[in-house]
């Protein structure tokens, strides 16, 4: 019930401002930390760096290789992370991949209806 | 055929090299990508090139990005042009509640005096102002360098334009050669209501040397290569109505291709032939069009002289580089910009160093992610486009001594004209066939 908690917290905040803001930030940070590790953080930053071109529709490695081929000197670290064969699966698709795909599905759904 | 030894003519040969790799889609798998990639690749490629030219062009002006523009400060910016066009048909118009009331003045051209250009790069976009740059010449998708300054109104006042210019040309050996001819033909449109099989048969007989006397045959023996540039067949699309086809209709649909195969068979038995797909042919719609499948030509494909190629098609004959399309790129430019003739459009594409700048905006194109196949790296000696209304040709010269023969190959079906090009001096002349008896 994250929604309720959030709501309650806001109410409290109306009474005491300083304590409210602290608590709020704590709560919102927790689920984010659980979602991805520092390596994913680096990869996401790479996704968002416009200097290497659009990221949707190509894998992260393809995007890195394209940047390399074009002489844009993408960070070596990205390649290392993407090619590392760790037990933990490294996300090969970019940050937006799933989300944009889902949007298409929604559009298709409405078009069909 | 009582030919004695002296009259026994031998067909000349030439060294052929196919340079279509860049136009092959190959194993590329579509992964849901959009067209941003091809624009990114194009901008990166062209900008690197333009930056290298800017230092000679405007050595005193700083280079900046659209976002870094400062008011009233002269500078150079490089980016992709976008032409805002009032008359350009938009798919959303169909859904608009109020239908557009702007009538099309010329249905084949969407240029309007209110059109304006916008330049964009990764950082932003800016509207271009001033009288120096005329929107009617330019099209969306082109990468240029502009010299000018930002005005109070937030526009960029253009003072000068730099296009990439003719690409460098690989010098061809200047050794004296013998006359060797290449025949370019397009728009055979076999299967269309007004197709004239006799006319085509005359062309084939001329190429293969079955026509005329010894002088004519000796010319025919100097033809070393034939290029068929698109629209070879016209499939009776009226039969395709979304229903399953009856077996007799199936064979009727295949009829034009069968006939084409029989015709090409006669040529490939004697000399090499390249066939490129065109907008009416059974190939993919989006450029680069992939080669027509060999199984469409069971007879001709048995010969190693038969080559099914991509559109655009790039090849070398005796070190002379040819580049050609079936005409879509130029036809699209004609819809969205203005020039005095087709050759001028062709010249522009060379000077822009981009074969089809309107892809993917108004011309279909495969969404490449890592390259822009239409970027012209090396200047061809012969640049041809197929399926035009009339035969036109011209030679253009570049600042670095480049020499390019431009050719508009007319629709053979309508004009009865094919084009003969001499490899020795790049001279070319039309080859006209008529079947009407003049009374």
pLDDT at A101: 57
Q: Which ipTM did the prediction report? A: 0.76
Is the Cβ of B29 closer than 8 Å to some Cβ of chain A? no
**Count of Cβ atoms closer than 10 Å to residue B124 Cβ:** 13
3-class DSSP state for residue B366? coil
Grade residue B412 by pLDDT with cuts at 50, 70 and 90: very high
Across the range B41-53, mean pLDDT stands at 92
**Residue A87 has what pLDDT?**
55
Which range, B19-28, B167-176, B237-246, B356-365, is most confident?
A: B356-365
Question: CB–CB of B36 and A56 under 8 A?
Answer: yes
Tell me whether residues B369 and A62 touch, CB distance under 8 A: yes
CA distance B40 to chain A (A): 6
Task: Tell if the CB–CB gap between A57 and B369 is shorter than 8 Å.
Answer: yes
State the Cα–Cα distance between residues A36 and A100, nearest whole angstrom. Answer: 19
Distance from CA of A84 to the nearest CA of B (A): 23
Q: Do A54 and B367 touch (CB under 8 A)?
A: no
Chain B neighbors of A57, CB-CB under 8 A: 31-34, 37, 367, 369
pLDDT at A16 exceeding the cut of 80: no
pLDDT beyond 70 at A8: no
Residues of B in contact with A54 (CB under 8 A): 34, 36-37, 40
**Alpha-carbon distances, residue B220 vs B267, B376, B420 (angstroms):** 12, 33, 11
How many angstroms separate the CA atoms of B300 and B297, rounded?
5
Confidence of residue B34 (pLDDT cuts 50, 70, 90): confident
| Cβ pair B32:A56 closer than 8 A | yes
Looking at the partner chain, which of B34, B48, B370 has a beta carbon nearest the beta carbon of A56? B34
pLDDT digits (tens, 9 = 90+) for B247-303: 888 888 888 999 999 999 999 999 999 999 999 999 999 989 999 999 999 999 999
For chain A, what percent of residues have pLDDT higher than 90?
0
Considering chain B, what is the average pLDDT of its residues?
88
Closest chain B CA to residue A49:
B122
Residue in A50, A66, A104 closest to B122 by CB: A50
Q: Which residues of B touch A65 (CB under 8 A)?
A: 370
Q: Which residues of B51-64 are buried (b: 16+ CB within 10 A; e: fewer)?
A: eeebeeebeebebb
Q: Which residue has the higher pLDDT, A102 or B13?
A: B13
pLDDT score recorded for residue A76: 86
- The per-residue pLDDT for A103 is 62
Minimum mean pLDDT range among A7-11, B296-300, B354-358, B403-407? A7-11
Do B20 and B313 meet the contact criterion of CB atoms below 8 Å apart? yes
At A32, the pLDDT band (50, 70, 90 cuts) reads very low
B109's CB contacts (< 8 A; 6+ apart) are: B334, B335, B336, B338
pLDDT at B1 over 60: no
Give the pLDDT of residue B76.
93
Mean pLDDT of the region B146-165: 91
Contacts of B333 (CB under 8 A, 6+ apart): B139, B339, B345, B348, B349, B357, B358
The answer, for A2 touching chain B at a CB cutoff of 8 Å, is no
pLDDT for B437 beyond 90: no
The total of other beta-carbon atoms located within 10 Å of residue A35's CB is: 8
Can you give the pLDDT at residue B325?
95
Is the minimum CB–CB distance between B35 and chain A shorter than 8 Å? no
Question: What distance in Å separates residue B370's CA from the closest CA in chain A?
Answer: 6
Q: Is B369 in the A-facing interface, judged by CB distances under 8 Å?
A: yes
Give how far B81 is from chain A: nearest CA, Å.
Answer: 18
DSSP B233: B
Q: Is A56 on the interface with B (CB under 8 A)?
A: yes
- What is the structure's pLDDT at B158? 92
Is the model more confident about B235 or about B78? B78
The 10 Å Cβ neighbour count of residue B98 is 6
CB contact under 8 A, B33 and A53: no
Residue B3: predicted pLDDT: 47
The rounded distance, in Å, linking the Cα atoms of A44 and A65 is 16
pLDDT beyond 90 at A28:
no
Contact of B22 with chain A, judged by CB distance below 8 Å, is answered with no
Nearest-neighbour CA in chain B from A104: distance (Å): 10
Burial group, residue A16, by CB count within 10 angstroms (0-12, 13-18, 19+):
exposed
Quick check: B122 and A101 CB within 8 A?
Answer: no
Q: How would residue A105 be classed by pLDDT, with cut points 50, 70 and 90?
A: low
The pLDDT value recorded for residue B122 is 86
Rg of the Cα atoms in chain B: 24
Instruction: State the pLDDT at residue B32.
Output: 77
Q: Do B369 and A66 touch (CB under 8 A)?
A: yes
| The token pair that represents B256 in the structure block | 């034009």
Return the higher-pLDDT residue of B173 and B343.
B343
pLDDT tens, B97-132?
565 555 545 567 888 888 999 999 888 999 998 888
């Amino acid at each position: 019930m994250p929604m309720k908690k959030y709501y309650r917290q806001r109410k409290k905040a109306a009474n005491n401002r300083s304590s409210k803001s602290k608590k709020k930030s704590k709560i919102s940070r927790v689920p984010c930390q659980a979602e991805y590790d520092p390596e994913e953080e680096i990869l996401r930053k790479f996704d968002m760096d416009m200097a290497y071109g659009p990221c949707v529709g190509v894998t992260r490695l393809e995007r890195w290789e394209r940047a390399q081929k074009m002489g844009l000197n993408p960070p070596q670290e990205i390649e290392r992370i993407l090619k590392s064969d760790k037990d933990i699966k490294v996300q090969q698709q970019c940050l937006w991949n799933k989300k944009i795909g889902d949007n298409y599905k929604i559009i298709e759904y409405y078009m069909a209806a | 055929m009582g030919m004695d030894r002296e009259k026994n003519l031998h067909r000349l040969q030439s060294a052929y090299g196919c340079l279509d790799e860049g136009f092959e889609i190959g194993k590329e798998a579509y992964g849901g990508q959009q067209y941003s990639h091809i624009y990114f690749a194009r901008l990166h490629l062209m900008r690197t090139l333009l930056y290298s030219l800017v230092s000679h062009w405007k050595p005193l002006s700083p280079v900046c990005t659209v976002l870094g523009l400062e008011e009233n400060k002269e500078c150079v910016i490089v980016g992709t042009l976008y032409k805002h066009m009032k008359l350009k048909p938009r798919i959303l118009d169909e859904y608009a509640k109020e239908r557009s009331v702007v009538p099309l003045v010329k249905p084949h051209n969407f240029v309007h005096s209110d059109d304006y250009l916008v330049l964009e790069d990764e950082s932003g976009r800016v509207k271009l102002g001033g009288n120096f740059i005329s929107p009617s010449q330019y099209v969306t998708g082109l990468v240029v360098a502009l010299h000018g300054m930002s005005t109070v109104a937030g526009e960029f006042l253009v003072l000068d334009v730099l296009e990439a210019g003719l690409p460098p040309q690989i010098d061809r050996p200047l050794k004296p050669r013998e006359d060797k001819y290449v025949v370019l033909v397009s728009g055979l449109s076999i299967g269309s209501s007004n197709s004239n099989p006799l006319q085509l048969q005359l062309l084939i007989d001329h190429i293969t040397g079955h026509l005329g006397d010894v002088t004519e045959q000796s010319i025919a023996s100097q033809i070393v290569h034939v290029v068929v540039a698109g629209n070879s067949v016209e499939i009776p699309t009226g039969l395709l109505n979304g229903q399953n086809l009856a077996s007799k209709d199936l064979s009727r649909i295949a009829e034009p291709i069968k006939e084409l195969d029989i015709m090409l068979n006669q040529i490939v038995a004697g000399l090499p032939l390249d066939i490129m797909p065109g907008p009416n042919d059974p190939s993919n719609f989006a450029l680069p069009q992939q080669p027509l499948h060999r199984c469409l030509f069971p007879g001709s494909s048995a010969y190693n002289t038969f080559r099914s190629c991509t559109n655009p098609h790039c090849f070398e004959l005796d070190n002379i580089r040819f580049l050609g399309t079936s005409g879509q790129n130029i036809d699209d430019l004609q819809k969205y910009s203005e020039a005095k003739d087709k050759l001028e459009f062709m010249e522009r594409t060379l000077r822009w160093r981009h074969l089809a700048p309107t892809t993917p905006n108004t011309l279909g194109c495969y969404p490449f992610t890592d390259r822009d196949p239409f970027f012209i790296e090396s200047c061809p000696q012969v640049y041809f486009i197929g399926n035009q209304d009339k035969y036109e040709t011209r030679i253009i010269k570049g600042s670095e001594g480049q020499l390019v023969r431009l050719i508009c190959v007319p629709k053979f079906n309508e004009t009865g004209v094919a084009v003969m090009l001499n490899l020795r001096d790049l001279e070319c002349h039309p080859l006209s066939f008529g079947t009407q008896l003049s009374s």
